Structure 1
Amino acid sequence: MPIQCIPLPDNVDYNKQSIAVPGTKQPGQTAVYGLVDTNAPGILKTLPEIFNNGYALNPDARLLGHRPLLSKTPLKFGPYVWQTYRQVDVRRRRIGSALHRMFSTGELKAADLDVVGIWSQNRPEWQLVELALHAYGKVGVSLYDTLGRDSVGEEHSINHAQLSIIFTTPDHIAPLLRLAAKIPDLKVIVSFDLLDDEVRKVLSSWAETLGIRIIHLNEIEHYGEEHLIEPLPASPDQVASLCYTSGTTNRPKGAILTHGNLATAAYSNMFGIIFPPSCCVISYLPLAHIYERICELTMIATGGCIGYFSGDPLRLMDDAQALKPHFFPSVPRVLNRVYQAAMTAGNVPGVKGAIFRTALQTKLDRLHKTGVKTHALWDALVFRKIRAVLGGNISLLVTGSAPISGEVVDFFKIAFGCDVAEGMRHALSVYGMTENCGICTHTIDGDATGGGTIGAPQPIIEIKLVDLPSMNYTSEDRPNPRGELCVRGSPCFQGYYKDEKTTQETLKDGWIHTGDVAEIDHCGRFKIIDRVKNIMKLSQGEYVALEKVENIYGASPIIQQIFVHGDSLQSYLIAVVVPDPLVLAPVVSAILGTKVDPANNLALAEAVKDPRVIQEVVNLLNAEARRNKLAGFECVKRIYVTMDPFTIEENTLTPTLKLRRRDAYAKFKKEIDALYALGEPTDGVSSKL
């Protein structure tokens, strides 16, 4: 019998979400929290078992969906069209059989692993190829579709993994051919889409001179149908993926992930959450990132379906309204934008604003007192419109990848946790990393005070905190033990591919040292409070955690992006601030006495040079610093305000939207140096450049 989700018991004690395992406390660290039992009955241990479990629940259920492009001018997409589990099974067998034969005959050559690359935005074919690799013993290497234009990341990953075949989209074929001299192992490029005859002729002629063959995906499937074999047996310790981290230092590392790592990670997600029948997830976060991949594997394991976005992040809301997903995995940057837009739209003068504020406070009070997220009147009158932005059916909203404020999480709990008749509603914070397959902790639905924490350990994971004396964090701290968060368990990786030195730095005595500083509260929940890295020392000797300061200031609605910079020869911090246009526009309009539209970037770019506008940004930052009780040396003392954001394309953001600090500094070096040249202000944040 296929297994399904395992709900929490009815009598959950939210005051004891995890407990210390007796006898595991050692000097310099906390006891171990969590449970590892890889022999539990029915546990899913390989990736083919994940697919087979979902298939067995209903082979004719929807699995992979997309919106076909109807016209380019004007841009128009049709309704979602779907492939079932049965149809996907046929196609994955064909693709897998073809790849297995190509490696067996020597057309594709491997060093120590049969590696296959995928370089594409999220789309059904991405998952289709990945499922084929799982079933036929091949190792997937996912290349970030959003890597920088200089191709440094792609080139490194392709060479490091020694890829001889890459599945991709037409727009990436020419870049691959231009890189050919630097990626000598590449022999075959497979296009997901059919190329125009003339285009294919030109590209194939070019490729032939480089010793590379270009073929279509349907040709791979036809070849596999001619040489069809049954899926190959898989074992938990068999390597399934080299997952390259996005690399804030511009040098991606390839985490070695096995079938057991990935399958048990997805299995762990099946505990404590009830997905509605035929649950649908929207896929828009990069599939090259472990977070999105585990979300989709969880959907497959539970017999759900995956609807892929149309490819343009600006059309995400339109896609969600067409798909009406139940499951919305997200990251703080996306949720903060939705939150800020909702607050700006609702918190207006007059009766409308008063109704919104009353509804918001009433539901927040109820949530914090009882954990209940519903209210018949306010759900129908106010929050129905907010739910409609994401299609109206959201049952599970998950945020991970970076810290998010408790007030934002609580807002989403009450905004989307409304109609009990449609199923249990969840808004969860999750914590994980590539090295543990995105699985470590998550908050529990119904926990009235869980906002701002990352919750308790997930099943089959163990956690402990290790002392950091240099940062004054120890397991003996009161009221809450503190230290570096370390994790182990079956989802935890085997090491970095061809990088023993970095492996030993991260894996110590069988534990992953995450680099995150956490504390354990009285309920057994964990909370990220700092980072071991990105600590800098000011000239007067104070240590500052730059990411911590950024996260605190970043909670202000005015902030779209913020880069906090410190110089060890200086006694204070400065920051580059990119305001959110939706929040900035009303501020600018009020100050200038003329309406400025949020979409008018030229007008906003001119406005942020106005000292009055900058001073208002300063006031909002100072308020956030006071609210969070930042120490004086942690407060930003000078700011530069700009509408020129940090982006993936210019290499100041990683594909997972983390700042590349060195590149961010280089972008604004002139402005940063000018701020420091002014000297330290005597009080608060200065608005002067």
Structure 2
Amino acid sequence: MPSPLENPFPKVLDYSRQGVEAPGTRRPGQTGHYQNGLWGLITLEKQNHIRTVPDIFNLGYSLAKDQPFLGHRKVLSRNPLTFGEYVWITYAQADERRRNLGSALEILFRDGVLGGGEYPTVGIWSQNRPEWQIIDNAISAYKKVSVSLYDTLGKDAVEYIIGHSHLTVVFVTLEHIPTLLSISRRIPMLKMIVSIDDLSEEIKKVLTAWGKVLNMDVKELRELEAMGQANRLEPIPVVPDDLVSICYTSGTTNNPKGVLLTHGTLATAAMSNLHGADISEAGCLISYLPLAHIYERNSELNVIAVGGRIGYFTGDPLRLLEDAQALKPNFFPSVPRVLNRVYQMAMLAGQVPGIKGYLFRKALETKLNRLHETGINTHAFWDKLVFRKVQAVLGGQIKLLTCGSAPISADAMDFLKVAFACDVVEGYGMTENCGTCTRVWPFDPTSSGTVGAPQPCNEIKLVDVPSMGYTANDKPNPRGEICVRGGNCFSVYYKDEKNTRETIDPEGWLHTGDVGEVDSVGRFKIIDRIKNIMKLSQGEYVALEKVENAYGGAGVLAQLYVHGDSLQSYLVGVVVPDPEQFAPLVTRVTGNKVGPTDLAALLAASKDPRVRDCVLDELSNHARKVGLKGFETVKKIHIELEPFSPENGLLTPTLKLRRRDAYEKYKAELEALYSSPASNGGAAPKL
């Protein structure tokens, strides 16, 4: 039985009216208010199926009570670590567990064992796994407030969030328990640690004794479930305005900000996302993006609302493709970092000499031409002969592939559309609007490079940014800061009046800090960022994130940190090359055969001026292709083989660059780039 929230796109779409301006809404210095061209502006009150997060679970339960819900791969061997097929629990089994756990939490808060802060907050610090959803659903069903800790957060951020949100209990995986115990004296509000993993008798004895010394209660998840089962309470009614989560944004410079999300904001986002989403009750999502991030959390709420399945990856990114092939998902939410890797690897296939390379290039050319002319991304012959091999990488049954979190190049999006021959959706959102703002329409021939039209729950306007030269009167398209309003938008940063005032204006508009333009059919495109603007010595302003994003499709590039100095006239950068593309380049330049796993040879080559100049030439060619201005292009580079990651402190858990930390790490190399004579490839041209 289909979900009553599903609203499919009609078979025939009018692509000329994807976003429309509401009449009479224009004002000086801003565009009118754009709404979805098909559904207009919708609200929770216009439907009677969901109002709150528990309503979403209850709807999925009613559709698929005895059907598989949460799955994981069973461990077959620890040495070596091997996994079997997916095993599942049903909606009914998950309901039983959430009621048991929620009852225990309510008793502990009611009796004063836990609590004492402004809100009844409950922390979750874990990689994605079935228990994450069970815990979160128990929290929302019993009127508690979840606080997610990123699995890759360092001690400082964990300590800050626990203190800031007054967490008295945190559900954690085993490896995090020693961390919490070691900092317990600095977070005196924390009273209980609950291990999601079952503990051996010996380990539990040690951790319990350690906790007792620190006045910390260490328990197991199964203990709380047993407690709740013996003292079962009914779920506590909630309303849309009740707080359900404090979702902390991963700060790139300062402490993370706590976004207050209500039941209504998350329910509105789910309702909106199911307008046009190709997810059915038989749908299956693979969960690997951090559940503490709004993008993945939102995606899983969408699947739950239709009674679908969620299969969790093993926790090892290197096994993700293996997990996908075992699960065979229909729904693959992703990010440019993952999808660019798929794109770059596939492009290497087109460089293979002989008949294989020719067939790939011919198949790609044929399908791209058809896509651009008609929007059709399938081809009976080429899909079977060539692209089914690409599709098999993700299990071979993908129907919906989504991309968010950061920009992706139009070329990469076009490739993904023809390679996977399914609905490939780029969208735009942020924690503050529950990851829901715009999305592209299916099979739009010219949507790549845009983030699409307003979601049905949103209205969007562009506001002038005079300091950067963007105005609502720009030709051919209006440009300005993207501002969004709707039932999915937050209204307060927790204990942060200053940032709240700077982000939400008196009329309720959320100022995103992103600069966009809107085309003649009502699709939006992200073109710049107001933050991270610096001025070069000759007076030109440069948006560093914009430059980094523009280089994103360069073949040899895996990651890039762009740096500018206001006393200098040009930009420099730290380049992390893709080994699969870097190795052939090194071989070509040096004449010595080098493989992508020969780290010693690649490291030596990274210091070779000839190799560095060749990489810079490729980047410069790409910069010209995407239309970067002369002063926006990187003129000198340092090549680094170690990828930026949350583990080495250079990326946030949502994979955004920590600029301050990157600068500190590469300060010496950056200063050397500015002080050294320009190489052939790195000479700063006249601007």
TM-score under structure 1 normalisation? 0.97
Question: Is residue 457–residue 463 contact of structure 1 (8 Å, CA) maintained in 2?
Answer: yes
Pairing 1:320–2:320 present: no
1:424-503, aligned counterparts within 5 Å?
425-503=422-500
Question: Is residue 43–residue 264 contact of structure 1 (8 Å, CA) maintained in 2?
Answer: no
1:401-412, aligned counterparts within 5 Å?
401-412=405-416
Return the alpha-carbon distance in structure 1 between the equivalents of residues 308 and 194 of structure 2.
28
Question: Is residue 153–residue 250 contact of structure 1 (8 Å, CA) maintained in 2?
Answer: no
* Deviations 1:581-632 (CA, angstroms, capped at 9, x unpaired): 0111122223333432212222211121122221220111111111122211
1:523-602, aligned counterparts within 5 Å?
523-602=521-600
1:191-230, aligned counterparts within 5 Å?
191-230=195-234
Question: Is residue 465–residue 483 contact of structure 1 (8 Å, CA) maintained in 2?
Answer: yes
Question: Is residue 578–residue 644 contact of structure 1 (8 Å, CA) maintained in 2?
Answer: yes
Match of 1:48 among 23, 45, 54: 54
From the superposition, tell whether residues 361 and 617 of structure 1 become closer, same or farther in structure 2 (CA, over 3 Å). same
* Deviations 1:249-281 (CA, angstroms, capped at 9, x unpaired): 141111000000111111111001222441000
Instruction: Find the counterpart in structure 2 of residue 337 from structure 1.
Output: 341
Instruction: Find the counterpart in structure 1 of residue 665 from structure 2.
Output: 667
Return the alpha-carbon distance in structure 1 between the equivalents of residues 635 and 584 of structure 2.
25
From the superposition, tell whether residues 484 and 43 of structure 1 become closer, same or farther in structure 2 (CA, over 3 Å). farther
Return the alpha-carbon distance in structure 2 between the equivalents of residues 685 and 663 of structure 1.
27
Instruction: Find the counterpart in structure 2 of residue 507 from structure 1.
Output: 504
- 1:199: how far off? 1.2
SS in 2 for 1:513: strand
* Deviations 1:506-543 (CA, angstroms, capped at 9, x unpaired): 11121110000000001110000000001100011000
Instruction: Find the counterpart in structure 1 of residue 314 from structure 2.
Output: 310
Instruction: Find the counterpart in structure 1 of residue 86 from structure 2.
Output: 80
Match of 2:268 among 252, 264, 271: 264
Instruction: Find the counterpart in structure 2 of residue 422 from structure 1.
Output: none
Return the alpha-carbon distance in structure 1 between the equivalents of residues 113 and 683 of structure 2.
63
Question: Is residue 614–residue 681 contact of structure 2 (8 Å, CA) maintained in 1?
Answer: no
Return the alpha-carbon distance in structure 1 between the equivalents of residues 341 and 14 of structure 2.
34
- 1:400: how far off? 0.3
Unaligned runs of 5+ in 2: 36-40
Amino acid paired to 1:602? A
Instruction: Find the counterpart in structure 1 of residue 603 from structure 2.
Output: 605
Pairing 1:102–2:100 present: no
Question: Is residue 260–residue 491 contact of structure 1 (8 Å, CA) maintained in 2?
Answer: yes
- 1:4: how far off? 4.0
1:86-485, aligned counterparts within 5 Å?
86-148=92-154, 151-417=155-421, 425-485=422-482
Return the alpha-carbon distance in structure 2 between the equivalents of residues 682 and 446 of structure 1.
44
Instruction: Find the counterpart in structure 2 of residue 421 from structure 1.
Output: none
Match of 1:64 among 66, 70, 93: 70
Return the alpha-carbon distance in structure 2 between the equivalents of residues 43 and 506 of structure 1.
31
Return the alpha-carbon distance in structure 1 between the equivalents of residues 345 and 223 of structure 2.
46
SS in 1 for 2:44: coil
Return the alpha-carbon distance in structure 1 between the equivalents of residues 275 and 263 of structure 2.
19
Q: Number of residue pairs matched?
A: 678
Question: Is residue 61–residue 278 contact of structure 1 (8 Å, CA) maintained in 2?
Answer: no
Amino acid paired to 2:653? P
Return the alpha-carbon distance in structure 1 between the equivalents of residues 271 and 226 of structure 2.
33
* Deviations 1:327-359 (CA, angstroms, capped at 9, x unpaired): 000000000001101111333122111111010
With 426-435 and 246-255 compared, the bigger mean Cα shift is at 246-255
Amino acid paired to 1:95? L
RMSD: 1.4
SS in 1 for 2:21: coil
Instruction: Find the counterpart in structure 1 of residue 38 from structure 2.
Output: none
Pairing 1:21–2:19 present: no
With 136-145 and 266-275 compared, the bigger mean Cα shift is at 266-275
* Deviations 1:316-337 (CA, angstroms, capped at 9, x unpaired): 1011011110000000000000
Instruction: Find the counterpart in structure 2 of residue 614 from structure 1.
Output: 612
Question: Is residue 460–residue 490 contact of structure 1 (8 Å, CA) maintained in 2?
Answer: yes
Instruction: Find the counterpart in structure 2 of residue 5 from structure 1.
Output: 6
Amino acid paired to 2:676? L
Return the alpha-carbon distance in structure 1 between the equivalents of residues 590 and 391 of structure 2.
34
- 1:557: how far off? 1.2
Amino acid paired to 1:457? P
- 1:91: how far off? 0.4
- 1:488: how far off? 0.9
SS in 2 for 1:206: helix
Question: Is residue 616–residue 681 contact of structure 2 (8 Å, CA) maintained in 1?
Answer: no
Amino acid paired to 2:602? L
Question: Is residue 371–residue 447 contact of structure 1 (8 Å, CA) maintained in 2?
Answer: yes
Return the alpha-carbon distance in structure 2 between the equivalents of residues 375 and 681 of structure 1.
47
With 92-101 and 10-19 compared, the bigger mean Cα shift is at 10-19
Question: Is residue 43–residue 267 contact of structure 1 (8 Å, CA) maintained in 2?
Answer: no
Question: Is residue 3–residue 42 contact of structure 1 (8 Å, CA) maintained in 2?
Answer: no
Question: Is residue 261–residue 493 contact of structure 1 (8 Å, CA) maintained in 2?
Answer: yes
Question: Is residue 330–residue 399 contact of structure 2 (8 Å, CA) maintained in 1?
Answer: yes
SS in 1 for 2:45: coil
Match of 2:639 among 633, 638, 641: 641
- 1:111: how far off? 1.4
Return the alpha-carbon distance in structure 2 between the equivalents of residues 105 and 589 of structure 1.
69
SS in 1 for 2:198: coil
Return the alpha-carbon distance in structure 2 between the equivalents of residues 661 and 107 of structure 1.
42
- 1:679: how far off? 5.4
- 1:10: how far off? 2.5
Return the alpha-carbon distance in structure 1 between the equivalents of residues 340 and 255 of structure 2.
29
TM-score under structure 2 normalisation? 0.97
Unaligned runs of 5+ in 1: 418-424
Question: Is residue 594–residue 602 contact of structure 2 (8 Å, CA) maintained in 1?
Answer: yes
Question: Is residue 125–residue 173 contact of structure 2 (8 Å, CA) maintained in 1?
Answer: yes
* Deviations 1:69-115 (CA, angstroms, capped at 9, x unpaired): 22221110111100100100000000000000000001102311110
- 1:442: how far off? 0.4
With 274-283 and 428-437 compared, the bigger mean Cα shift is at 274-283
SS in 1 for 2:443: coil
Return the alpha-carbon distance in structure 1 between the equivalents of residues 114 and 43 of structure 2.
39
Amino acid paired to 2:129? R
Pairing 1:624–2:622 present: yes
Question: Is residue 432–residue 490 contact of structure 2 (8 Å, CA) maintained in 1?
Answer: yes
- 1:686: how far off? 7.3
SS in 2 for 1:508: coil
Amino acid paired to 2:556? I
Amino acid paired to 1:471? M
Return the alpha-carbon distance in structure 1 between the equivalents of residues 68 and 591 of structure 2.
53
Return the alpha-carbon distance in structure 1 between the equivalents of residues 55 and 18 of structure 2.
30
- 1:644: how far off? 2.1
SS in 2 for 1:452: coil
From the superposition, tell whether residues 685 and 42 of structure 1 become closer, same or farther in structure 2 (CA, over 3 Å). farther
Question: Is residue 409–residue 552 contact of structure 2 (8 Å, CA) maintained in 1?
Answer: no
